[in-house]
């Protein structure tokens, strides 16, 4: 029996990029059915991707400083040992350019061959696959249901007993301008209208001294987080990884965008998941968001 060939996909992160790449992973899996597909990613996303049905094995690269020569020797050995037939560079970064040029220049390397795509990174990857005669029908049809777990007990233990609206006040700590400042006010308005409200705080929000009306859930793992998203009736959040999960689950909701980024580049609009774009997040009131939310629910 012929030994399966090995294929490597490189996608270090961030969270939203990995989730959004589900359709890319699915497309490549369909194109290379009888192969072993490896994913090279950051250690913090190991548990996130562990159950992805399109990935057979995961290799870790925590992107050490370029002067850490020993780390790169170890990375080279780890990758060379697998004798990869093709490497798909889904990260398209300065780091992966270095890998291609200096470490793995004898392996067939598929990349976007462009610094940046005028629309979005996902559109760049779409073109990359098209240029290599790989079908694109699954790229914009992600389904990360494989990431979800049963959270009935978790919800019951936190006295969350009815259909609930989910709020995500966090986003990347490196860009605080992406955070809408009125999630507390929105939670209070929703509770006054009789809704059950759940606010999710990630690791970067735990030290914010956050308090709000309704329930607060903290320190969820990836599978619990996805399960809580899947069981919600509506989601409001910033441009963040959890909103990408909601979008890829085709949940009803929207993400809020100010001038520092755009919904078009984020590719968050998908199916039932929408976006609200404004010139200033500070000027977008909780009453305005509530009005749009009620219109969507009705």
pLDDT beyond 60 at 5: yes
Structural domain total, the chain = 2
pLDDT value at position 10? 97
Give the mean pLDDT of 81-87.
96
Confidence of residue 118 (pLDDT cuts 50, 70, 90): low
Q: Is the same domain home to 216 and 109? A: no
Same domain, 47 and 188: no
Residue 33 and residue 243: Cα distance in Å, rounded? 30
pLDDT, tens digit, 9 for 90 and up, residues 19-48 = 999 999 999 999 998 999 999 999 999 999
177 and 65 assigned to the same domain: no
Q: Domain containing 228 — which CATH number? A: 3.40.50.2000
The pLDDT assigned to 266 comes to 87
Q: Which domain holds residue 50?
A: 5-140
203 versus 77: which is more confidently predicted? 77
Residues 154, 135, single domain; the answer is no
Q: Tell me, yes or no, whether 85 and 151 share the same domain.
A: no
Average the pLDDT over 133-144 and give the result.
Answer: 84
Listed residue (294, 297, 252, 298) closest to 275, CA to CA? 252
User: What percentage of residues in the chain have a pLDDT greater than 90?
Assistant: 69
Q: Residue 148 has what pLDDT?
A: 96
**Phi and psi for 139 in degrees, rounded to 5?**
-60, -45
Least confident residue range of 156-170, 173-187, 213-227: 173-187
Spatial contact of 293 and 277, defined as CB atoms under 8 Å apart: no
Q: Would you say residue 18 has pLDDT above 90?
A: yes
pLDDT level of residue 172 (50, 70, 90 thresholds) = low
| Residues ≥6 apart with Cβ < 8 Å to 184 | 210, 211, 212, 213
* 114 phi/psi in degrees, rounded to 5: -145, 150
H-only helix segments in 81-221 = 94-98, 121-131, 152-157, 183-192
pLDDT at 1: 57
Residue 117 clears pLDDT 80, i.e. is over it: no
Query: Tell me, what's the pLDDT at 186?
Result: 96
Q: Are residues 124 and 227 in the same domain?
A: no
Residue 209 has a pLDDT of 58
- 122 and 237 fall within a common domain: no
Find how far residue 265's CA is from the centre of its chain. 14
133 contacts: CB under 8 Å, gap ≥ 6: none
Q: What ranges make up the beta strands (E) of 208-283?
A: 215-218, 234-238, 253-257, 273-277
From the list 168, 139, 163, 173, the residue with the least C-alpha distance to 255 is 168
Verify that 68 and 207 share a domain, yes or no: no
Phi then psi dihedrals of residue 74, to 5 deg: -65, -40
Do the beta carbons of residue 201 and residue 166 sit within 8 Å?
A: no
Cβ(213)–Cβ(185) below 8 Å: no
Question: If you count them, how many residues does the chain have?
Answer: 298
Contact 6, 36 (CB under 8 A): yes
Q: How far is residue 10 from each of residues 46, 68, 289, measured CA to CA in Å?
A: 13, 20, 38
Q: Are strands 5-10 and 35-41 parallel, antiparallel or unpaired?
A: parallel
Could you report the per-residue pLDDT of 256-288, keeping only the tens digit for each?
A: 999 888 888 889 999 999 999 999 999 999 999
Q: Which residue has the higher pLDDT, 250 or 139?
A: 250
Same domain, 285 and 174: yes
Residues 277 and 152 in one domain: yes
């Amino acid at each position: 029996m012929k030994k399966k060939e090995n294929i490597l996909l490189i996608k270090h992160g961030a969270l939203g990029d990995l989730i959004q790449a589900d359709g890319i992973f699915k497309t490549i899996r369909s194109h290379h059915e009888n192969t072993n597909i490896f994913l090279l990613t950051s250690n913090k996303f190991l548990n996130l991707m562990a159950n992805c049905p399109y990935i057979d094995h995961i290799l870790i690269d925590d992107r050490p400083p370029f002067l850490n020569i020993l780390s790169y020797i170890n990375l080279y050995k780890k990758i060379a040992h697998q004798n990869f037939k093709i490497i798909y560079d889904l990260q398209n970064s300065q780091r992966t350019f270095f890998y291609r040029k200096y470490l793995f220049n004898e392996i067939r390397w598929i990349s976007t061959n462009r610094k940046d795509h005028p629309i979005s990174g996902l559109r760049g990857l779409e073109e990359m696959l098209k240029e290599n005669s790989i079908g694109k029908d699954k790229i914009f049809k992600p389904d990360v249901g494989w990431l979800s777990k049963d959270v009935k007990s978790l919800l019951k233990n936190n006295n969350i007993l009815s259909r609930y609206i989910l709020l995500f006040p966090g986003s990347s700590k490196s860009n605080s301008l992406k955070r809408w400042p009125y999630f507390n006010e929105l939670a209070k308005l929703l509770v006054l209208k009789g809704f059950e409200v759940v606010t999710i705080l990630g690791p970067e929000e735990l030290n914010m001294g956050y308090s709000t009306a309704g329930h607060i859930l903290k320190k969820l793992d990836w599978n619990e987080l996805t399960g809580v998203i899947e069981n919600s009736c509506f989601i409001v959040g910033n441009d963040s990884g959890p909103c990408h999960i909601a979008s890829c689950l085709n949940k009803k909701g929207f993400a809020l965008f100010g001038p520092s980024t755009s919904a078009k580049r984020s590719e968050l609009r998908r199916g039932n998941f929408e976006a609200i774009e404004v010139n200033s997040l500070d000027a977008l009131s909780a009453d305005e968001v509530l009005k749009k939310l009620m219109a969507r629910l009705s």
